[in-house]
Structure 1
């Protein structure tokens, strides 16, 4: 099998822009926990299932491994600072973050593009990550545009302007 350079692979994967989400849950003592991810995807609409992955070496891995519930907070384009705050090591990632309690008390971050409250269905260790499957039990969507990440930087999602035949004319501002 050919050796894959991890930095080259990271650069190639960066060509596929993704949304940015903060996963939140509670630890065994009821303390809020969260981390930024871009490894999130829909699995099924019926039943409503999603997946996301987490590094086995993440400080919060034991918390998410043991949690029964989590929330997918899909960040909006104005929430870059929240993305950065939850992607750094800190004992108080929720400092100055506006949130409310969802089902089971799990934190729901305010002003997101969308929030999905989930019950963990399964966890599958693969390589240096674990893939979690969650069943969506409640969701909400705002009018906010989502935050996007690709090629190692934050991006904004803008729709293409189309004519009556569907041909792309320009990007909307």
Structure 2
């Protein structure tokens, strides 16, 4: 496999992306979670979303074999949560800011949105797996979202109300 050109990574860093944490529980009831900025809708009928996960991640097995997962779209106030769930070797759930929500999965009550999914399929995406989820439940708040761009977290400027 050829290594990507440095310009590819630099170019992709200029593309703003949502910041989400995906969570699940394994058959023993242990919670698992990771931060992602590669999350998007895939289909409206049936309702499908996708989130990408590095195949080398410690959470990969839990997510590629789970029956359901929850995508928490982080609010502008969740930069610390995003960083914690992106850090290897730490107890991502130690802060106790998640609680069982949709489908009994760990979620952030104050997330911008939560999208509960059953695992529809796992696709090969090079060094990542593409987790395709069938949406079964959603929750939405008015919190502004956290955005990842140029290798850092930022918030969107408020959009003026339509006149």
Q: Aligned to 1:111, what secondary structure does the other structure show?
A: coil
Is residue 2:64 matched to residue 1:65? yes
Partner in structure 2 of residue 168 of structure 1: none
Q: Give the C-alpha shift of residue 11 in structure 1.
A: 1.1
TM (norm. structure 2) is 0.92
Once superposed, what is the RMSD of the aligned Cα atoms?
Answer: 1.9
Unaligned runs of 5+ residues in structure 2 are none
Q: Give the C-alpha shift of residue 145 in structure 1.
A: 0.3
Partner in structure 2 of residue 111 of structure 1: 110
TM (norm. structure 1) is 0.87
- CA displacement, residues 125-160 of structure 1 (integer Å, 9 cap, x when unaligned): 121111111011010011100000101111111245
Contact 2:118 2:133 in 1 (8 A): yes
Q: Give the C-alpha shift of residue 15 in structure 1.
A: 1.2
Question: How many aligned residue pairs are there?
Answer: 162
Partner in structure 2 of residue 132 of structure 1: 131
The verdict on how the C-alpha distance between 1:50 and 1:163 changes in structure 2, with shifts beyond 3 A counting, is closer
Is residue 2:86 matched to residue 1:87? yes
Query: Rg: which structure is higher?
Result: 1
The verdict on how the C-alpha distance between 1:142 and 1:124 changes in structure 2, with shifts beyond 3 A counting, is same
